[in-house]
């Protein structure tokens, strides 16, 4: 059985080579698949490889490439071709024979996990700001839509939402029923909604906005459909 492992501290960047990072990584993952390496180990390898690039792929791109390689739709990578590919674009990636030999010398897992969390935070805020499905200043999503857009699991999504809510980065409301789902908003989104309603007029305003502080506080508690702070059991994504 063969596998791939890192040796050394640097990996050449495949970008601009004409072959590309995505195709390079797909081929390397196909080699893992052909060798019977588990999908979890292949992702860990792919994550390390991408993290070592000067312009790393997004985590959801890495996961998509690994899923594609393990989908069974592709013929297994030719090991001779993999050797040539590694020699050209990933000289520090060594092909080993025998048992799996993983040498984790790249970014520590905790550091890579933090990087992914920051990436997901930025992507989620971008989705919220671009959303056109708004209810009282809150962007409405289903769990599944967010999972697909961010390329993460339900567990990772819930952890991300809880963390951003605990840091007061966003307001998270979970709604059950026909119009249920996740209602997400930043303070700026709510302030914009309050300003558009012209409901209150106070001399004290929220810093960075023209919205009265009391209006913002009240709007955070405005009546959306009945809220439940737990994931919906199904039917809302």
Residue 51 · residue 142 · CB < 8 Å = no
Residue 138 · residue 173 · CB < 8 Å = yes
Identify the architecture of domain 116-220 in CATH. Answer: Orthogonal Bundle (1.10)
Residue 39 · residue 70 · CB < 8 Å = yes
Helix (H) or strand (E) holding 183: strand 181-185
Q: How far is CA 161 from CA 73, 141, 158, 168, 205, in A?
A: 34, 13, 5, 10, 28
Number of Cβ atoms within 10 Å of the Cβ of 95: 16
DSSP designation for 222: -
Residue 206 · residue 212 · CB < 8 Å = yes
Tens-binned pLDDT, residue by residue, of the chain (237 aa): 344 544 433 344 444 444 577 877 887 887 777 777 888 888 888 888 888 777 888 888 898 888 888 887 765 555 555 556 555 555 555 555 433 332 333 455 555 556 677 888 889 999 999 999 999 889 999 998 998 888 888 888 898 999 999 988 899 998 887 777 899 999 989 888 888 876 555 555 445 444 444 444 444 444 454 444 444 444 444
Q: How far is CA 74 from CA 35, 70, 78, 208, in A?
A: 14, 8, 12, 53
Buried b (16+ CB within 10 A) or exposed e, 34-59: bbebeeeebbbbbbbbbbbbeebbeb
The pTM for the full model equals: 0.46
DSSP designation for 95: E
């Amino acid at each position: 059985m063969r596998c791939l492992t890192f040796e050394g501290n640097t990996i050449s960047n495949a970008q601009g080579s004409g072959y590309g990072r995505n195709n390079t990584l797909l081929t390397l993952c196909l080699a893992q698949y052909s060798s019977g390496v588990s999908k979890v180990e292949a992702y860990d390898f792919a994550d390390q490889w991408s993290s070592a690039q000067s312009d790393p792929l997004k985590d959801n791109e890495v996961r998509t490439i690994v899923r594609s390689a393990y989908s069974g739709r592709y013929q297994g990578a030719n090991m001779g071709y993999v050797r040539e590919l590694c020699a050209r674009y990933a000289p520090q990636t060594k092909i080993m024979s025998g048992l799996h030999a993983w040498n984790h010398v790249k970014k520590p897992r905790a550091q890579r996990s933090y990087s992914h969390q920051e990436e997901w935070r930025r992507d989620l805020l971008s989705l919220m700001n671009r959303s056109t499905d708004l209810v009282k200043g809150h962007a409405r999503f289903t769990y599944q839509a967010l999972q697909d857009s961010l390329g993460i699991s339900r567990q990772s999504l819930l952890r991300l939402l809880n963390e951003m809510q605990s840091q007061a980065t966003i307001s998270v409301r979970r709604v059950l029923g026909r119009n249920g789902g996740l209602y997400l908003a930043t303070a700026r989104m709510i302030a914009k909604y309050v300003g558009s309603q012209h409901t209150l007029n106070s001399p004290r305003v929220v810093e960075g906005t023209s919205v009265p502080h009391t209006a913002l506080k009240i709007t955070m508690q405005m009546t959306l459909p009945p809220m439940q702070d737990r994931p919906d059991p199904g039917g809302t994504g």
